[in-house]
Amino acid sequence: KKAYHDDPLFTNARVVVSLYNDLTNETFNENMRSKVIMPGIKTKDVEFLEEPTALNLTKTAMQYADGIILASPGVDRKLTQYAVSRKIPVLPYINP
């Protein structure tokens, strides 16, 4: 939504993020935030990565999502609450 927003191939593209219940408690390299900066992406666009955790990386992806899929039961409540707070449409998990 940021880096390729001027690319005609992505003019009408939508971003859908699938969430699973396998979120790690791992903290990533402290330089991660600077590594994702590229043309079209500013530091403020990745402010969650000031604390580079898996949770914050997922929130960074979600902030640009047009929709969320709960792809497994037991997705971290912080993520589902974040989706609700951002008014992102959520497709709930359906047990096959």
Q: In angstroms, rounded to a whole number, what is the distance separating the alpha carbons of residues 94 and 96?
A: 6
Q: Which helix (H) or strand (E) holds 85?
A: helix 77-85
pLDDT score of 59: 93
Three-state DSSP state, 32: helix
* Ranges under pLDDT 70 in the chain: 1
Quote the Cα angle for 49-51-53, to 5°: 85
Domains of the chain, residue spans: 8-91
User: What pTM was computed for the model?
Assistant: 0.84
